C-alpha cells in the first residue's frame, strides 16, 4: 500500500534541489536541440515533460561501456585488479512508467543465477521517480504488454498530474520514502481523492499472452522474412531499448596492461553469432529479426516469467526504416 501525497509545481523544483543537495545526481529527460536525452537535471525547468527520451535510461545501471577489470604484466606474471562499479547515487526523475518497469527485465537477467555486482551496485543506488503519461504517440504500446500509462510498477515514486496543477505522488518503496525524508515539506498530505488528468489512451494492439502462444507455431513462418526485408541490421533498436541487455566483452590493451570492458551488443547485428570458423547460425537478417521477437516475447516469459519488452516504442521511433514493432507484433499475433 503506497503512501500518497500532493506535490505542487514549485514543489517539484524544490524536490530536485533537495535531491541535488543530498549528494545524489538527478538524471532525467531533457530537451537538447529538439531531441530528448537523459541528462543531468539541475532544476525543474530543464525537465522535458512531454514525450520521452530517445535513448532509454538503462545506461544508469547498465552503461554502454563499462570496465569489468584491469590487468597488468609484472614480468611474466599478471596482476588482476578489480574495478569499482562507480555507482554514483542517482535519482532518475521524470522517466515514463514503461521505463520504470524496464528495470525489472534487466534485473532478472543480471541476477537470475550469478549475481552481477556492477549492475546491482548501480541499481541499489538508483531511485526512480516516474511521471505518468497523459499523452501517447503512435509508437507506444504499453497496454499490449500488460501495463498502462499510469502503471506504478517499478517506480519508487510515481507522479501523476493533477487537473489543478502539481502532482499526486505515490510513494511505493523504501527508496521512495528516503526521498520524501529529504524534502518533507514538498510532500503535502492528500486532501481526499486526487483529481487527476486522465491517463493517456493507448488502445491495445495485441495481447502478449496470445502472441506468446502464436509464436510457438510460427518459427518457420515466412512472416519473419517479410517483416525484416527493410531491416538494415543495425543496433539502433537494441541500444535505445530499456530492456535489451545483450552485451559483449572486449579486451583493450597494449603489451603491458589492459582492461576488459563490457559493451552493449545486439542480436540484430550479424557478428553477434558469428563463429571463428566462419559459421554463422543466424546468417540472414530474417533469422536475427525473428530472434529479437522470440527472445523478448517467448523465451523471456518462459525463463524469467516476465516479458522482455515494456511497450515504450523507443525502438520504433529510433528505427531508420520504420520497423514499427507494435505493427509487426500485432501481425504476428493474428492468424
By CB under 8 A, the residues from 206 to 225 that bind other proteins are 219, 225
Least separation in angstroms between residue 161's CB and other proteins is 24
Q: Of 64, 163, 184, 209, which lies in the binding site for other proteins, with binding defined by CB under 8 A? A: 64
CA 159/CA 88 separation, integer angstroms: 24
Least separation in angstroms between residue 157's CB and other proteins is 26
Q: Does 232 bind other proteins (CB under 8 A)?
A: yes
Q: Among the candidate windows 15-23, 177-185, 187-195, 251-259, which touches other proteins by CB under 8 A?
A: 251-259
Assign residue 132 a region: left if phi > 0, alpha if psi is -120 to 50, beta otherwise?
Answer: beta
Q: Does 139 bind other proteins (CB under 8 A)?
A: yes
Q: Does 37 bind other proteins (CB under 8 A)?
A: yes
CA 112/CA 282 separation, integer angstroms: 26
Q: Which helix (H) or strand (E) holds 293?
A: helix 285-294
CA 326/CA 319 separation, integer angstroms: 13
* Sign of the alpha-carbon dihedral angle for 169, 38, 26, 156: positive
Residue with cell 499472452: 209
Q: Of 22, 71, 89, 188, which lies in the binding site for other proteins, with binding defined by CB under 8 A? A: 71
Least separation in angstroms between residue 154's CB and other proteins is 20
* Per-residue binder mask for other proteins (CB under 8 A), 267-296, x = binder: x-x-xxxxxxx---xx-xxxx---x--xx-
Q: Does 240 bind other proteins (CB under 8 A)?
A: yes
Shorter beta-carbon distance to other proteins: residue 79 or 88: 79
Question: Which of 164, 119, 226 has the alpha carbon at shortest distance from 9?
Answer: 164
Q: Does 144 bind other proteins (CB under 8 A)?
A: no
Decide: helix, strand or coil at residue 332. helix
Question: Which of 103, 1, 86, 112 has the alpha carbon at shortest distance from 308?
Answer: 103
Shorter beta-carbon distance to other proteins: residue 90 or 227: 227
Q: Does 113 bind other proteins (CB under 8 A)?
A: yes
Least separation in angstroms between residue 48's CB and other proteins is 14
CA 160/CA 284 separation, integer angstroms: 45
Q: Does 247 bind other proteins (CB under 8 A)?
A: yes
Decide: helix, strand or coil at residue 255. coil
Beta strands in 139-217 (DSSP E): 157-161, 167-171, 188-189
Q: Does 104 bind other proteins (CB under 8 A)?
A: no
Shorter beta-carbon distance to other proteins: residue 4 or 71: 71
Q: Does 241 bind other proteins (CB under 8 A)?
A: no
Amino acid at each position: 500500500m503506497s503512501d500518497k501525497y500532493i506535490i505542487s509545481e514549485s514543489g517539484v523544483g524544490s524536490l530536485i534541489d533537495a535531491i541535488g543537495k543530498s549528494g545524489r545526481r538527478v538524471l532525467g529527460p531533457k530537451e537538447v536541440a529538439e531531441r530528448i536525452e537523459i541528462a543531468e537535471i539541475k532544476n525543474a525547468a530543464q525537465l522535458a515533460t512531454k514525450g520521452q527520451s530517445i535513448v532509454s535510461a538503462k545506461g544508469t545501471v547498465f552503461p554502454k561501456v563499462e570496465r569489468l577489470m584491469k590487468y597488468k604484466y609484472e614480468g611474466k606474471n599478471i596482476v588482476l585488479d578489480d574495478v569499482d562499479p562507480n555507482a554514483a547515487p542517482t535519482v532518475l526523475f521524470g522517466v515514463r512508467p514503461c521505463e520504470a518497469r524496464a528495470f525489472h527485465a534487466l534485473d532478472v537477467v543480471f541476477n537470475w543465477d550469478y549475481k552481477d555486482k556492477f549492475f546491482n551496485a548501480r541499481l541499489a543506488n538508483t531511485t526512480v521517480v516516474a511521471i505518468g503519461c497523459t499523452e501517447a504517440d503512435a509508437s507506444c504500446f504499453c497496454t499490449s504488454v500488460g501495463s498502462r500509462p499510469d502503471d506504478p510498477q517499478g517506480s519508487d515514486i510515481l507522479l501523476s498530474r493533477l487537473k489543478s496543477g502539481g502532482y499526486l505522488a505515490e510513494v511505493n518503496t523504501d527508496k521512495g520514502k528516503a526521498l520524501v525524508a529529504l524534502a518533507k515539506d514538498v510532500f503535502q498530505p492528500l486532501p481526499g481523492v486526487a483529481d487527476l488528468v486522465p491517463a493517456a489512451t493507448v488502445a491495445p494492439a495485441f495481447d502478449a499472452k496470445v502472441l506468446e502462444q502464436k509464436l510457438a507455431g510460427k518459427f518457420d513462418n515466412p512472416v519473419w522474412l517479410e517483416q525484416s526485408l527493410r531491416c538494415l541490421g543495425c543496433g539502433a533498436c537494441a541500444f535505445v531499448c530499456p530492456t535489451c541487455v545483450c552485451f559483449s566483452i572486449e579486451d583493450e590493451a597494449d603489451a603491458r596492461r589492459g582492461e576488459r570492458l563490457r559493451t552493449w551488443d545486439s542480436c540484430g547485428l550479424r557478428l553477434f553469432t558469428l563463429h571463428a570458423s566462419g559459421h554463422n547460425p543466424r546468417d540472414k537478417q530474417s533469422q536475427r529479426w525473428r530472434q529479437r521477437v522470440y527472445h523478448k516475447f517467448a523465451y523471456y516469459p518462459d525463463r524469467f516469467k516476465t516479458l522482455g519488452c515494456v511497450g515504450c516504442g523507443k525502438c520504433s521511433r529510433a528505427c531508420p526504416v520504420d520497423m514499427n514493432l507494435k505493427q509487426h507484433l500485432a501481425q504476428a499475433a493474428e492468424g
